Structure formats: C-alpha cells, structure tokens
C-alpha cells in the first residue's frame, strides 16, 4: 500500500509540479497512516518526481496564471457561495458518473456495442463542444490568460457557438454539464478518461461561469474571473474527492504562490461540507463503500471490514436442556470449552444462554 501511495503522490507531483499536493492527495484519498515510516518515502517520491519534471519540462507550469487582482475581504460572501455551488456541482458529478458507469456496466456482455455507444456519444459531444476534447487544460488556460470577453470567446473556437460572444456564458455552462458525460462515455467504453482531470476542468469552467455571471448581473462587488476559475477548480476537486487539502495546496502550488490561500480555504471547506451532507464518500471510495469493503482511518471499523462472519461464529459448543439437574449442569460446565451454554428445548429452540464465567466466579 505504501508503494501505491508513493506512485500516486509522485504522479501528482510530476504532472503539476506540486509536491505538497501529491503528499496530501495520498494521505486524504488513499488514507495511508501518517507516521515517519510512511511520510519520508512519500515525500522522497514527490520531490524526486518534481525534480525530474523540472529537468525534462523546464519551469513552465501546466496553467499559466499571473495574479493581477489580489484577494480582498469584501469577496468572502462570493467565495462562500462559490464553495456551496461547487459542492452541488461535485454532487452532480459523482451521481452522474455513477449512473453512467452503471449503464455501461450493463453492456459489458456486448463489448462492441458498448464501444459504439461510447464512441457515438463522445463524437456528438465533441462536435458541439470542442473544449471537451482531450484533458481540457488549454481551455482553462484561455480563462486564466484572457482579460476581456473577446479573449475568453476563444474557448468556443471550432464550435457552432464561435463568433457569438454573447453566448459565451451558455457555452461554458453547457460544457460544465456535458463534461461528465464525455468522461463517462470514455471510461465506460474502455478508454481512460480518468476522474482527476475532469474534476479540475469542470471546476475551472464552473468557476469562470460563476464569476462571469456574477459580474454581468452585478450581484455584488467585482470578482476577478481568473481567480475564481482557480477557486472553482479547487472547490470541485474538494467536493468530488472529499479532499479539501488537496484542492487547496494543488491550486496554491500551481499558481506559484499562496496569495489566494485564504479564499481557497473558504471555497474548499464550503464545497466539502456541502457535498458531505449528501454524500459521505469520495468518488474513489463510493463503490467500495457500497460493497462494504472500504478501509478507513477508523481502526475498529477497518477491523470489522476485514473480519468475516465465518471466523466469529462458534459452531462447536455444548448445550443443555431447561430441566437439567444442577449436578449434571456442573459436569457440562466443566467440559465446556466456551464461556456460554445455550439452553435449548426439545425442538432445539433457544430459550436462553448461561454465562459460564459468572457461575465460575
């Protein structure tokens, strides 16, 4: 399990150049016990992977971001509301993914038909929304690098919405809704769409949607679309994966600083609490939880999960009748190797249990 944690943390650290996020991801998602025996190997993996990433890819980050508008205290209500909305989006992501995976699982006996359905679904969605193609990081970078609606409208390039900047909000909202189906079609038909990247992309699109709508409608004080795009990414990740610290540190490290640390905390906590009201398990642990095989940090619960009923059921025991004389009862107690004696009638119906320990004392 420790080696799995080292590999997972190293992958996150290398892809995003975020070693702390890789460490926290392993502790929150894989639930590895936090002690020096596990902490040092995971940290070593994260640092090594990050160094190799810098050697082969340079210092460029996956997302290009420059903080033009620092966070101010009057944006706290917007951050809280964004977090709550991200929690609801996360719940939609989890439920929709689970439902779609169930549908594709029913088609497992017909692999070619399943592949056809997945391919057709994905093709239609990409035709209308080209931003769904690939991971979607380039589309998020459009929001992070642009400053005007004309800049942001580049995200609609190649779609039927292109040239209609007034429909930008509609396009972004539809991408948020359909991204989960594109991911489900990819995963369900045998591809590898993952969960981590789609959660980030949906969060980025929703963060931009939220801030752009807020500013257009002048709901409150101005909120920068760039900043809230990143906060949306952190919020949806915190809700989908039930991992608020991962969302906080990942976005903080991606941006190359901690200028947005306070709003990230507000958004991630709000998103996590909102999702947790309706769904207590992350998208990774949900299936195991339904099967009753999920291991958590709760040691007693983990022990019960690993224990089978066959190992605790006692089948080799003596029993007595209700009219047995006391002298014979003493003999039965002396021969019994258990701490109890069932009392059965002639039909083998349980009438009660004699606690041998109390009689011996």
More confident residue, 298 or 252: 252
15: pLDDT confidence band, cut at 50, 70 and 90? confident
Question: CA 197 to CA 355: how far, in whole Å?
Answer: 58
Neighbouring residues of 49: CB distance < 8 A, sequence distance ≥ 6:
9, 10, 11, 13, 14, 19, 22
Q: Is the pLDDT of residue 205 over 90?
A: yes
Position with higher pLDDT, 341 vs 140: 140
More confident call, 286 vs 69 = 69
Query: Which one, of 57, 23, 184, 203, lies nearest residue 114 by Cα?
Result: 184
Of the listed ranges 31-35, 216-220, 305-309, 357-361, the one predicted with least confidence: 305-309
Lowest mean pLDDT among 16-20, 207-211, 236-240: 16-20
Most confident of 12-16, 18-22, 232-236, 254-258: 232-236
pLDDT at residue 170 tops 80: yes
Rounded to whole angstroms, the Cα distance separating 266 from 238 reads 11
Q: At 221, list the tokens.
A: 């004080």
Backbone angles phi, psi at 135, to 5 degrees: -70, -35
* Nearest by Cα to 120 from 139, 107, 109: 107
Name, in order, each residue with C-beta under 8 angstroms of 98's C-beta and a sequence gap of 6 or more: 283, 286
Q: How far is CA 105 from CA 117, 132, 285, in A?
A: 12, 23, 18
pLDDT at residue number 214:
93
Q: What is the mean pLDDT of residues 203-231?
A: 92
pTM of the model: 0.79
As a whole number of angstroms, the distance between CA 203 and CA 175 comes to 11
In DSSP terms, 353 is beta-bridged to: 342
| pLDDT recorded at residue 289 | 62
- In the predicted structure, residue 252 carries a pLDDT above the cut 70: yes
Q: Is domain 73-291 classified as CATH 1.10.3080.10?
A: yes
Q: For 55-100, how does the pLDDT look when each residue is reduced to its tens digit (9 = 90+)?
A: 988 877 777 777 778 888 999 999 999 999 999 999 999 999 888 8
Instruction: Tell me what pLDDT residue 83 has.
Output: 95
Q: Sketch the domain layout of the chain as residue ranges.
A: 2-60, 73-291, 311-361
Q: Do residues 260 and 67 lie in contact, with contact meaning Cβ atoms separated by under 8 Å?
A: yes
Query: Cα torsion at 298, 299, 305, 308 (round to 10°)?
Result: -160
Give me the phi and psi of 312, to 5 degrees please: -110, -10
Q: What is the DSSP letter of 284?
A: T
Structure tokens at 122: 């994905």
Can you give the pLDDT at residue 92?
A: 94
Q: What is the DSSP string of 128-154?
A: H-GGGSSS-HHHHHHHHH--SHHHHGG
Average pLDDT over residues 33-61: 85
Average pLDDT value for the chain: 83
pLDDT value, residue 108: 81
CATH class belonging to 311-361? alpha beta
330, pLDDT greater than 80? no
Three-state DSSP class for residue 232: helix
């Amino acid at each position: 399990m420790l080696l799995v944690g080292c590999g997972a943390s190293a992958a996150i650290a290398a892809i995003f150049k975020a070693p702390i996020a890789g460490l926290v991801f392993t502790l929150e998602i894989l639930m590895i016990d936090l002690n020096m025996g596990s902490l040092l190997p995971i940290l070593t993996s994260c640092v090594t992977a990050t160094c190799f990433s810098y050697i082969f890819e340079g210092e460029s980050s996956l997302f290009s971001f420059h903080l033009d508008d620092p966070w101010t205290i009057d944006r706290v209500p917007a951050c809280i509301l964004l977090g709550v909305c991200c929690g609801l989006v996360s719940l939609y992501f989890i439920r929709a993914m689970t439902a779609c995976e169930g549908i594709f699982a029913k088609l497992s006996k017909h692999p070619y038909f399943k592949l056809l359905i997945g391919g057709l679904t994905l093709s239609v969605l990409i035709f209308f929304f080209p931003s769904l193609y690939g991971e979607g990081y380039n589309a998020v970078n459009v929001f992070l690098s642009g400053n005007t609606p004309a800049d942001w409208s580049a995200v609609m390039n190649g779609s039927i919405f292109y040239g209609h900047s007034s429909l930008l909000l509609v396009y972004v909202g539809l991408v948020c809704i359909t991204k989960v189906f594109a991911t489900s079609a990819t995963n369900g038909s045998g591809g590898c769409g993952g969960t981590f990247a789609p959660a980030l992309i949906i969060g980025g699109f929703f963060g931009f949607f939220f801030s752009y709508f807020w500013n257009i409608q002048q709901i409150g004080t101005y909120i920068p679309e760039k900043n809230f795009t990143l906060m949306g990414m952190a919020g949806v990740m915190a809700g989908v994966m039930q991992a608020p610290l991962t969302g906080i540190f990942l976005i903080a490290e991606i941006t190359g600083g901690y200028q947005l640390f306070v709003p990230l905390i507000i958004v991630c906590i709000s998103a996590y609490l909102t999702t947790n009201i309706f769904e207590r398990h992350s998208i990774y642990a949900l299936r195991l939880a339904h099967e009753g095989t999920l291991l958590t940090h709760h040691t007693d619960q983990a022990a019960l999960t690993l224990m089978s009923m066959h190992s605790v059921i006692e089948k080799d025991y003596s029993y007595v009748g209700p009219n047995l004389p006391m002298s014979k009862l003493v003999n039965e107690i002396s021969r019994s190797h258990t701490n109890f004696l069932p009392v059965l009638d002639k039909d083998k119906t349980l009438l009660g249990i004699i606690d041998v320990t109390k009689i011996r004392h």
